[in-house]
Amino acid sequence: MLRAHASFLVGIALTFLGSLALSSLAAQQIAAQPLSTGIAPADPAAPIQDQAAGGMQISWEVRSRFRLFREERDFQIHVAAAGNQSILAAEQALELQSDGRGWARNAVNRLCIDLGGHISEPCTRDKIKESYLTPTEHPVTVRLTGAVPVGAVCAWSFDDGDGPRATTQDCAEPIDFRARYGRATNATVDVTSGSDAPQRLMTQIKVRDILVAGLGDSIASGEGNPDRPVALSDEGFCFRSYLGGAADEFYRPSRAGYKGGRACGTSGSLQTWQQYGALWMNAACHRSLYSYQARTALALAVRYTHVAVTYLPLACTGASIPDGMLGSQRARECLTSKSSAKCQGTVNGQIAQLREALAAARHRQPDRRLDLVLMTIGANDINFSGLVSDVIVDAATERALFRRGGLIGSVDDSRSSLVRDLPQSFVQLRAALKPLLDNDLSRAVFVSYANPALTNGGAPCTGGKAGFDVHPSFNADPGRLAAVTGYVQNEFLPRLKALALCQSGVICRDPAGDRMTFVEAHQAAFADHGFCARAGSDPEFDRECFSPQGNSFVSNIVEAPQQPLACGREASAFRAYLPRARWIRDANDSYFTAMTYPQAQSSSMQPSDIHDATWGLLSAVYGGAIHPTAEGHAAMADAALPAAEAQLHLNAADGSNVTGEPLPPLALPTSPALTPPAATPPAPMQQ
């Protein structure tokens, strides 16, 4: 939002390594011929009437259904956590399981999109090379479930139109194969057990691959929630204030691993400093796997076992509609390495990126379509970051400098942009987005913002330095905070809804095609979880070290370099991903979680060195202050999921019904049955 900021199937311990994959070694043993039973396989051209018999059924599911993940183990973590609970409850369970270090910290290096935002084509997923945007097949596991007799023998046949492939094995063993994209595979199994009459069951397997794109600003990208938080040093790092005197120096926790000068007046390499920063799925846009968009797409894959989800994240922190959606924008920060300090200072417009990706996909697969867009945009268009600065920057010198640099805004100026500029920008956004969604913007799910400054059922936060004392000039002024909170609740959020839904005087040329799907159900939950919300269940570190009175840090510049925290605890004990009452990150959270030095900024905002007053201030806010936590994003995903399901015409009963019929006694095949290796349970979460 600010420029300056998912039922665990108990039986899912799949024996997917017990592989009889028809496209691998097992394919050489599964003969492409009818079963030697004297009964021909079902006609692949004829519709399959699913059958069930004797309490048995054919069950199948797509493996590794969230295709952004290269490895099945990363997906299974979320299947295990989901159960029959909400995305929020699953996130909270994962937070505790990882001891607050976060589930994404390892998965972020195992994606089909690299840290620079480039799609890996092909992407090697579980040792198989696939096209990410245009898959030609999907891994599927098929098994016989229900009242399966012990020792029963299953004669399986699979036919996707190119002739049947058959194998015989113990019915207790699953079969792994790769289903062709866009084709139905007719699956037939003849079940023989002792002297009982054989039974035949049939079903049809067809995987639906759903392409979901994520667009928008920092709320959409997941700002505030780096996939791997910054590792904190227990020692202090010096910043100067804008007045520049020695008495105006202050110390805050440093980055772990940094060996350069920590005292003001010493030189330090920004490039070296950056190597010890937080890790994002995409640094330039602060894209995160914790974003509500990623969590919604992931939840679709977890919930629906017959689909695969291809997720394309494009949202970028700092984006407005003109700059970011329709045109290019400044990057938040750079992805640097020991070999290169070059900074890519701009990011291409999201609509252009989406258009290019779809064109490339349709060139290879003409029927490929964009099924759904998840989107949040508009706060930067009305300079919400300027309103935040106006609330929290309290010291006279900093306020004067911020006003001069245009970094402090007013409610009146924001209101003018809301009434005059934002409606016109929405017209342009609709015109650009509609052709990509077959002229049906109901498939654009617009997830609204939540008011970040509410608690106790909707009462405004009262302000003060609590949560903002990471910088000496910060103090959430009660009067200015109340004015901005009221403006957001009573004007901005309602107007945004009207713009998305073509309501309340908003003129849309084609209301039926222009009306987006609007999501706001999460706003009621956030009314108890603003940045000022506190509870006895908050992490012990927060309760002990983040002072309600705003004196969390040692001010004595002799003691602070060795121990910057007044509570006497080590800063490295802070955990960014533990359950908290607040679902909005305050400035202290932002610094302790990301400590972002946004070097891809305008020249006027570039500091002279890493101890500069500008860095001290920006590092406290540019990592996600006044943005949702991972819990907040999970709550937003819980609200977005039903809308996504409705637009995709999914339902919780998704699955195949299986029908069956008795068969005359069968002559069992004489070819040897394949014996899969022992089942391998899902890997536990790495700590």
Q: Which of 125, 113, 6, 124 is nearest to 62 (CA)?
A: 125
* pLDDT over 60 (residue 418): yes
- Give the DSSP letter of residue 341: -
Average of per-residue pLDDT across 412-437: 97
Segments making up each domain of the chain, as ranges: 10-97+119-208+656-662
| Per-residue pLDDT reduced to its tens digit, 303-340 | 999 999 999 999 999 999 999 999 999 998 876 544 34
* pLDDT over 90 (residue 103): yes
Q: What is the overall mean pLDDT for the chain?
A: 86
Q: Degrees (nearest 5) of the Cα angle 524, 528, 530? A: 105
pLDDT at res. 385: 93
DSSP 654-665: -S---EEEE---
* pLDDT over 70 (residue 486): yes
Q: 232 pairs with which residues across the strands? A: 255
Q: What angle, rounded to 10 degrees, do the helices at 630-647 and 87-97 form? A: 140
- d(CA 7, CA 636) in angstroms, rounded, equals 19
Residue 497 · residue 448 · CB < 8 Å: yes
pLDDT band of 242, cuts 50, 70, 90:
confident
Q: Tell me the range of 74-88, 501-515, 646-660 where mean pLDDT is highest.
A: 74-88
| Per-residue pLDDT reduced to its tens digit, 210-220 | 999 999 999 99
Helix (H) or strand (E) holding 625: none
Average of per-residue pLDDT across 67-96: 97
| Per-residue pLDDT reduced to its tens digit, 425-460 | 999 999 999 999 999 999 999 999 999 999 999 999
HEC letters along 262-326:
CCCCCCCCHHHHHCCCCECCECCCCECCCCHHHHHHHHHHHHCCCEEEEEEECCCCCCECCEECC
pLDDT at res. 194: 85
pLDDT at res. 58: 96
- d(CA 502, CA 498) in angstroms, rounded, equals 6
Phi-psi category of 439—alpha, beta or left, where left has phi over 0 and alpha has psi -120 to 50?
left
Is the Cα torsion angle 108, 110, 114, 115 positive or negative in sign? positive
- d(CA 610, CA 600) in angstroms, rounded, equals 14
* pLDDT over 60 (residue 51): no
| 481: helix, strand or coil | helix
Q: Degrees (nearest 5) of the Cα angle 262, 267, 273? A: 65
* pLDDT over 70 (residue 246): no
pLDDT at res. 268: 76
- d(CA 28, CA 488) in angstroms, rounded, equals 64
- Give the DSSP letter of residue 256: T
Q: Which of 231, 320, 326 is nearest to 275 (CA)?
A: 231
* pLDDT over 80 (residue 375): yes
Tell the residue number behind the tokens 């069950």, with chain if given: 59
First to last CA, the chain: 31
Within 8 A by CB and 6+ apart from 653, the residues are none
* pLDDT over 60 (residue 2): no
* pLDDT over 80 (residue 47): no
User: The pTM is what?
Assistant: 0.87
- d(CA 230, CA 227) in angstroms, rounded, equals 10
444-447/517-519 β-pairing? parallel
| Per-residue pLDDT reduced to its tens digit, 457-475 | 999 999 999 999 999 999 9
The pair of structure tokens assigned to 253 is 């926790």
Name which of 148-152, 267-271, 542-546 the model is least confident about.
Answer: 267-271
Q: Which of 343, 342, 225 is nearest to 293 (CA)?
A: 225
Dihedral Cα 342, 348, 353, 355, nearest 10 deg: -150
Name which of 70-84, 162-176, 220-234, 261-275 the model is least confident about.
Answer: 261-275
pLDDT higher at 259 or 635: 635
pLDDT at res. 32: 31
- Cβ neighbour number for residue 128 with a 10 Å cutoff: 15
| Per-residue pLDDT reduced to its tens digit, 579-616 | 999 999 999 999 999 999 876 666 666 677 889 888 88
pLDDT at res. 607: 73
pLDDT at res. 391: 95
Average of per-residue pLDDT across 345-361: 95
pLDDT at res. 407: 84
pLDDT band of 365, cuts 50, 70, 90:
very high
pLDDT band of 274, cuts 50, 70, 90:
confident
- d(CA 324, CA 627) in angstroms, rounded, equals 18
- How many percent of the chain have pLDDT more than 90? 72
* pLDDT over 70 (residue 52): no
pLDDT at res. 130: 95
Q: Which of 2, 3, 139, 162 is nearest to 60 (CA)?
A: 139
| Per-residue pLDDT reduced to its tens digit, 116-153 | 899 999 999 999 999 999 999 999 999 999 999 999 99
- Cβ neighbour number for residue 510 with a 10 Å cutoff: 12
- d(CA 314, CA 119) in angstroms, rounded, equals 11
Residue 116 · residue 282 · CB < 8 Å: yes
pLDDT at res. 135: 96
pLDDT band of 241, cuts 50, 70, 90:
confident
pLDDT at res. 483: 96
The pair of structure tokens assigned to 158 is 């699979």
